[in-house]
Structure 1
């Protein structure tokens, strides 16, 4: 239900253009929803695809508000919600329709996409840090533990574990010494993947990144780090898989970049006989990184067989983090219960923040700076966060 009031939002109005618009401010949330005053919103590379390329936007969709993650304060609580109250600090993944996106002053969200920020997260900068979490945490958690992707057993430390699976339909749990490769571990998703695997007890977590990220990734729980640009990358990785054993190939890989060149490199270290699982964060890009140049873009949601570099029998699994909402267990637990628990107990920590506040000009100018940083690959190991209020 909307009031007569409006508030500011930043929206793309056509490919390559964005501006400030005024949108209706909701008066009250519906049952099962909350009204959030957004104070910080983070930006991801998908924002540049949407603004610059019109990715997955139809002409009739414009204007489309930007932003997939936000953090702020609960202003109103709809009927049926008893675990959130007015004044609570929260973070949320904000996807779907334009009116649910993050780059605006107020937004209504369903309870399932909202996580309460625990008091243990320091008050100073808590909201800006919390705005870095939802989409990448969801993607990492789903890629690792969802049966649709790599399918590792759900960690024992999470609250409200899912009901036991039918043993006849599930794969045996891999030993905690199983080598697991996180390609592009310096990305924000890669950082959460390392933390989750380390907390679960896995001890052979391989991470590729720029060398400047190596000390931090080791502190998060990586056991081995590799320079992704090394000409001997494949040999370096395989040397560490099981140096004294007979199994010299990787069975599990998470590609947090998913470009043609990364697939080629990963293909050199997976099982030559097939049977490996490779989780690919969609979309698949041309070239060697997440940057996409206008006029040269090609974003694929599936890997065509003629461009598949993996050995026959390799399972390549396209990961869409937002599909967590289609899983009844994850929808009810991942953000409402699991994420607050992990933050409260220090099991994961937010990403580092590249904050764009008033010193970068108006809200519109801040968003423009964020798009520039992302499209030109000028930020690494950090999340671009825009101060809204």
Structure 2
């Protein structure tokens, strides 16, 4: 049996190069030759804290771009050589930081020839997260087309994307704009303000501003509060700030896991909250609905499972409705060195407004 190179966490705090058997795709599956793998803060939690690990080894990275190498039985809408992206959530020996992987057809999307593979790597889990959050968890209807043939009924509802420097936040802005919403707000550090506006925000605010609540209220009008919030950072500190901006009967979606403190430095499992905080540490009014957004659960929605990666995201890319965010490309040194460098950037909070992408050599 042939094998290939992979970078995996093999024990708590251990990241190593290992050899894995190169699998053969079964029915409904595809073998991908990986060109680039994307890293996110969750990879640092997995490697350093053992978050969600049931057994080792665990290959790092959730985002994949590459080419179809082999098709399993029943996959008739792709061909060998197709350029694809993959939202690689499971199994954890089939994720991104390796030369080959097998994945279900349902998590694979074909991409246009004009889209570079490194840039495409910013898309899968982040667009899945943004789409699932906005059009499922926050309750906004999925448009029949992008842009829609007519504006949504609540097109002027104030919607805040908190943490628009995060890649998922940037894609949420693009999707909301494409769906026809006209009062999209964002918070970001000043260096990310222009990018947030370019991605679709109608107003951008410095999350550190002492007049944040007043500035938001002035833009929103009415009672000065927003109805819907997507918190792309999800920490105790952001909850406190958002609680002063959201309407008393609003909805706040929080990307799991929630972090203690300001969420910028996570050094132990105790810093991570796997669910919505209890009443004693919940700063929101009693009427605010808090939604714990767990991206992996999007496949429990049959429509999204069957359509989001196979058809919806490829169509969005083909029609230039969404475009990639900035790439922090790591292509120097060995594969292990590249992944280690990426993890260190994420650990130290040195990534903002961009996605860490690792080149995979063959």
1:191-235 CA distances to partner (integer Å, 9 max, x unpaired)?
A: 000000001111111000001111111111110000011111112
Distance in 2, matches of 1:290 and 1:25, equals: 37
Of 46, 49, 52, which aligns to 1:53?
49
Distance in 1, matches of 2:342 and 2:159, equals: 32
Distance in 1, matches of 2:289 and 2:273, equals: 20
> Aligned residue for 2:7?
10
Distance in 1, matches of 2:59 and 2:196, equals: 33
Distance in 2, matches of 1:382 and 1:116, equals: 22
The root-mean-square deviation of aligned C-alpha atoms, in Å, is 1.4
1:65-90 CA distances to partner (integer Å, 9 max, x unpaired)?
A: 11111110100011111110000000
CA contact (8 A) 1:119 1:344 kept: no
Residue 277 of structure 1 aligns to a residue in which SS? strand
Are 2:221 and 1:231 equivalent residues in the alignment?
A: no
Unaligned 5+ segments in structure 2 are none
Structure-2 change in CA distance of 1:174 and 1:292 (3 Å): farther
1:133-192 CA distances to partner (integer Å, 9 max, x unpaired)?
A: 11110010011101xx11111123259xxxxxxxxxxxxx65211110000011100000
> Aligned residue for 1:366?
338
Are 2:227 and 1:248 equivalent residues in the alignment?
A: no
Distance in 1, matches of 2:166 and 2:347, equals: 15
> Aligned residue for 1:279?
253
> Aligned residue for 1:169?
none
Distance in 2, matches of 1:175 and 1:256, equals: 22
Q: Which runs of 4+ in 1 moved over 3 A?
A: none
State the shift of 1:310 in Å.
0.4
State the shift of 1:56 in Å.
1.8
Are 2:173 and 1:217 equivalent residues in the alignment?
A: no
CA contact (8 A) 1:41 1:131 kept: yes
> Aligned residue for 2:125?
135
CA contact (8 A) 1:176 1:202 kept: yes
Residue 13 of structure 1 aligns to a residue in which SS? strand
TM-score (norm 1): 0.89
State the shift of 1:384 in Å.
0.2
CA contact (8 A) 1:158 1:338 kept: no
Of 270, 274, 294, which aligns to 2:246?
270
Are 2:12 and 1:41 equivalent residues in the alignment?
A: no
> Aligned residue for 2:360?
388
> Aligned residue for 1:163?
none
Distance in 1, matches of 2:45 and 2:172, equals: 24
1:328-367 CA distances to partner (integer Å, 9 max, x unpaired)?
A: 100110000000100011000011100000x2x1000000
Unaligned 5+ segments in structure 1 are 160-172
Residue 22 of structure 2 aligns to a residue in which SS? strand
Structure-2 change in CA distance of 1:353 and 1:215 (3 Å): same
> Aligned residue for 1:289?
263
> Aligned residue for 1:156?
144
> Aligned residue for 1:319?
293
Residue 226 of structure 2 aligns to a residue in which SS? coil
CA contact (8 A) 1:14 1:62 kept: yes
CA contact (8 A) 2:276 2:290 kept: no
CA contact (8 A) 1:208 1:228 kept: yes
State the shift of 1:97 in Å.
2.0
Distance in 2, matches of 1:298 and 1:187, equals: 18
Distance in 1, matches of 2:200 and 2:89, equals: 30
CA contact (8 A) 2:85 2:110 kept: yes
State the shift of 1:30 in Å.
0.6
Distance in 2, matches of 1:228 and 1:177, equals: 23
> Aligned residue for 2:278?
304
Distance in 1, matches of 2:316 and 2:207, equals: 30
Distance in 1, matches of 2:96 and 2:269, equals: 28
Of 17, 22, 45, which aligns to 1:20?
17
State the shift of 1:287 in Å.
1.3
Residue-pair matches, total: 357
Distance in 2, matches of 1:297 and 1:176, equals: 38
TM-score (norm 2): 0.96
